[in-house]
Amino acid sequence: IDTTLTRVKFEELCSDLLDRLRGPVETALKDANLSFKDLDEVILVGGSTHIPAVQELVIKMTGKEPNVNVNPDEVVALGAAVKDGVLAGEVSYIVLLDVTPFTLPSDKVDKMVKEAEKFAKEDKEKRDAIDTKNQADSVLYQTKKQLKELGDKVPGPVKEKGEAKVKELKDAISGGSTQAIKMQWLH
C-alpha cells in the first residue's frame, strides 16, 4: 500500500490514544503524592515520544519542555542492560530500587502463563496469517509496480499471465484464507 498521511490526519487518527495518555500520568503522580508542579524535569522514554502530539500533550500537562538530551529509544535498552547486569552480578556499583508499588501476585502470573500456553497455537496461527497476508500484499504491490514500470517492454502473453496472477493473488487476499494465499503465492 502506498499512501500519504498528513500530520493532521495522523493526529486525528491517534486522538483517542493521546487522550488515554493523561490517565496513567496523573495516576503515577497521585500514587507518588506529587503534582505537576513538583516535577523538576520531564524525560520522555520510548519510540512514540518522537510524535510531536505526544510532546505537545506533555508540555500542556506539565508546563515543562521535555528534556531532549536523552535518546528516548536508547534509554529503555540501556536500563534493561543495567538491570540485567545487576541481576547477573556483573554490575555491583549500582543499586536497583523497586519503585513500582504494584506487583502482580504469583497466582495472577501463573494464570497469565497458563493462558499464554493455552492460546499459543492460536496466537501462532494468527501471526502466520498476518505475516502471510503482509508478504502477499508486498508481492502484489511489487508485481503491479514492475508491470506498470516496464510497460510495453514486457511481451503481451507474459504481461497477461502476470496480470492474471496478480488478480488471483488479490482475490485470495480478499478471501482471507491463509492457505489460499499461500497456494496462489507459491504457485
At 77-112, the pLDDT tens digits run 888 888 888 888 887 777 776 555 555 567 777 888
Domain of 139 in residue numbering reads as 120-186
Statement to judge: residues 22 and 81 lie in one domain: yes
Cβ-based burial of 3 (10 A; exposed 0-12, middle 13-18, buried ≥19):
exposed
On whether both 13 and 81 belong to a single domain, the answer is yes
Our count of domains for the chain comes to: 2
75 with 125, same domain: the answer is no
The kind and range of the H/E element at 141 are helix 120-150
Decide: pTM greater than 0.75.
Answer: no
Say if 101 falls within a structural domain: no
pLDDT per position as a tens digit, 153-167: 989 898 888 888 888
Q: For residue range 23-58, list pLDDT tens digits in order.
A: 888 988 888 889 999 999 998 888 788 889 999 999
Residue 166: inside a domain: yes
In a domain, 39, yes or no: yes
119-149 per-position pLDDT tens digit: 888 888 888 888 888 888 888 888 888 888 8
Does pLDDT of 61 surpass 90? yes
Which CATH number belongs to the domain containing residue 33 in this structure? 3.30.420.40
pLDDT of residue 187: 61
Query: For 52, phi and psi rounded to 5 degrees?
Result: -55, -35
80 with 125, same domain?
no
Helix (H, G, I), strand (E, B) or coil at 171: helix
**Domain annotation covers residue 65:** yes
